[in-house]
Amino acid sequence: MKVLFAANPEKAHFLPMVPLAWALRTAGHEVRVACQPKFAPIVTQAGLTAVPTGRDVDLWDLMPRHPDYRGTAWRPAYGLPIPYEVAEFPEKATPEYLAESYAAILHYWHKPACFPMIGGLVEFARAWEPDLVLWEPLCLAAPIAALASGAAHARLLWSTDVFGVTREHFLRTRTAGTPDPLGDWLGAYARKHGGEFTEDLVTGQFTVDQLPASLRLPTELETVPLQYLPHGGPASVPNWLWRPPEKPRVALSMGISLTDHEAGYSVAVQDVLDHLAALDIEVVATLPDTEKAKLARIPDGVRIVPYAPLEALAATCSAVVSHGGFGTFLTTARHAVPQLCAPWDFDGPVFARRAEEQGAALSVRADEATGEVVANAVSRLLSEPGFATRAEALRAEIHAMPTPNELTGRLEELARKHS
């Protein structure tokens, strides 16, 4: 079987694809990864074969189109953008609102991000003739290429399925005469390449979801579960991680975006470190050197490193404080470690709330994550046994899901069914 993966040039969207791509490859299938040319080194660094298609688009060059752009910087608002916030707040789902919001996000995001890849991806798919195309939900060039080449295709999610749930709300509320900007745009390409618009161009013929059921949003879409396995790229384990900590270890891994004081929603790292240092714990904070240089002091009991492989670090921790990203959260959850999530934009807040409802985590807005708030939350995570109990339950739920190797046979069946 020939399997084509496709992703926009975002590491956070591509890296969750790597374990499944390798499982299919080691099962004897041919695997290729379509991407924009500049992203090919990231693909080949993972040991996979890249197919550069179309032309490069710097997603930051799209920011002047964004409604949160303020002339010199992009300052994203808290939570999901339009129209995808209806996945969390379904009371906002009216036909008029969703139609207007789809039109807006097509203008400032989906069209300019996906258009440069469509022609080249269709050309390659017709030449290579894949049996199955697996695409991340923002790579809308991929279902068009699958239609043009007759391949089965599916979305491979990298977080909560706000895209599919939003589409379900649109279809549920749509009335006669309500415009469908997203369907019209995809339909035009479908007709250009010999087909017609169908809903699978938006949500795939099926969806591969790496979240355990307790963290998913409710949906009626056909979902195939896949156990999340971490892949963060090249890494080495430092020798200080070989030894077990003498005190409870707490990792702080906020991501560069939430330590950027120019963005207007930064976490006060110095304040957080000072308050955590007052607890009887060991703190490991992953901060780039540029952010470390901004600190006035490094408190006793705090280790600052530019990077540590999270899978190795989380295994030694009693709690983790992070921005609540998909990969960070699930990597930590695989080790049954309680977590504090301090998210800001896009799917982070809705994902953190689902995690808090599951019981293995606490959450706080990034702009409210003061040192006192974080230290109090960490104290709760370490002292209240319910968090550890729920973290164990979450780990068991994750480990019960099919591994990439175990899923390959099911994907072969679905490819035959849908091609």
Q: What is the per-residue pLDDT across 61-91, written as a single tens digit (0 to 9) for each? A: 666 565 655 555 656 778 888 999 999 999 9
**H helix or E strand, kind and range, residue 11:** helix 11-14
What's the pLDDT at 255?
A: 67
Read off the amino acid at residue 208: V
**pLDDT digits over 310-322, tens only?**
999 999 999 999 9
Share above pLDDT 90 across residues of the chain, in percent, rounded to a whole number: 82
**CA dihedral of residues 274, 336, 208, 160 (deg, nearest 10):** -40
What's the pLDDT at 67?
A: 63
What's the pLDDT at 290?
A: 85
Say whether pLDDT at 4 is over 50.
yes
239-399 and 2-228+402-418 share a CATH fold = yes
Q: How confident is the model at residue 262 (pLDDT cuts 50, 70, 90)?
A: very low
What's the pLDDT at 373?
A: 97
* Domains of the chain by residue range: 2-228+402-418, 239-399
- Look at the block and give the residue holding tokens 């002047």: 64
**pLDDT digits over 160-183, tens only?**
999 999 999 999 999 999 999 999
- Under CATH, which architecture does the 239-399 domain have? 3-Layer(aba) Sandwich (3.40)
Stated pTM of the model: 0.93
User: What DSSP string describes 200-258?
Assistant: HHHH-SSEEE-S-GGGSPP--S-EEE-------SS----GGGTSPPSS-EEEEE--GGG
The CATH homologous superfamily for domain 2-228+402-418 is Glycogen Phosphorylase B; (3.40.50.2000)
Say whether pLDDT at 331 is over 60.
yes
**pLDDT digits over 13-47, tens only?**
999 999 999 999 999 999 999 999 999 999 999 99
**pLDDT digits over 209-255, tens only?**
999 999 999 999 999 999 999 998 889 999 999 999 999 999 999 86
Average pLDDT (194-202) is 95
Say whether pLDDT at 305 is over 60.
yes
Q: How confident is the model at residue 344 (pLDDT cuts 50, 70, 90)?
A: confident
Q: How confident is the model at residue 259 (pLDDT cuts 50, 70, 90)?
A: very low
Average pLDDT (186-200) is 95
What's the pLDDT at 346?
A: 84
Q: How confident is the model at residue 419 (pLDDT cuts 50, 70, 90)?
A: confident
Q: How confident is the model at residue 267 (pLDDT cuts 50, 70, 90)?
A: confident
Q: Please, are residues 63 and 74 in contact by the beta-carbon 8 Å criterion?
A: yes
Bridge pairing between strands 2-6 and 30-35: parallel
